[in-house]
Amino acid sequence: MSVLSNLNKCIENKGAGFIILIDPDKKNDEKIDQIVESANDNDVDAIFVGGSIMMDRFYHKRIERIKHISDIPVILFPGGVNQVNKYYDAMLFMSLMSGRNPHYLIGEQVIAAPIVNDFGLETIPTGYLLIDGGSPTTVEFISGTKPLPSNRPDIIISHALAAQFMGMQLLYLEAGSGAMNTVPVDVISKVSNETSLSLVVGGGIRTPKDALEIVNAGASFVVIGSAIEKSLDLIKDFSSAIHFK
């Protein structure tokens, strides 16, 4: 069974999926084992691994380590083609649809495709929408794009529908790592009502209460990164909030 099929079963069986995001940077070296082991023990459904910048040459070694100790799917959340390797169970084959930089709409994807094919990685077509979370993000800087305004659900819905009509299987609504604000729940609700896509929501989610509100608004998957880097004890509480069935 594919990784995506297993994730969709989480929605059926648990109400929504809980995904943690690990930035495999040297600053997290001492925490990676603890984070993965805690994920194994607390019913986390998958691990997204990725970051906008690779700060040293040991990125791929860290992915190998994460895969070795993880009992759950390890999925690439790519910042660039140089992050693709054989250790992932699957990757989000993403297009940054909120911006108009052709390199991140299709350029990186064309460069990555032969490598992904050679590795035989499962790909999950994903429309990626950066939503204004109240503070500048690394994605904005690296991609040279602006986020969609969070107070314009009509604009966000138009992008979401375009993703659906282009055949994306997931729609990722991203406020940015450590954002001041989450994607607004009214935006999530409206996008959920107007599209048939499974919604992945991340960025600025600090508490299990935040996560529950996002699930209740229509998110299929909730991604938590910075909050658990600061406090691993929160993983269990996030899991209980997101898995409401």
Q: What is the pLDDT of residue 56?
A: 83
Share of the chain above pLDDT 90, in %: 87
Q: What are phi and psi of 90, to 5 degrees?
A: -165, 170
pTM: 0.96
pLDDT per position as a tens digit, 109-168: 999 999 999 999 999 999 999 999 999 988 999 999 999 999 999 999 999 999 999 999
Q: What is the pLDDT of residue 27?
A: 64
Q: Please report, for the domain that includes residue 79, its CATH number.
A: 3.20.20.390
- DSSP category for residue 21: E
The residue range of the domain holding 159 is 3-242
pLDDT per position as a tens digit, 54-100: 778 889 999 999 999 999 999 999 999 999 999 999 999 999 999 99
Chain-wide mean pLDDT for the chain? Answer: 95
Q: How many domains does the chain have?
A: 1
Contact yes or no for 213/235 (Cβ under 8 A): no
The band of 201, judged by pLDDT with boundaries at 50, 70 and 90, is very high
- DSSP category for residue 125: E
Q: Which residue has the tokens 């350029």?
A: 107
- Quick one: angle between helices 234-242 and 208-217, nearest 10? 20
Average confidence (pLDDT) over 12-28: 90
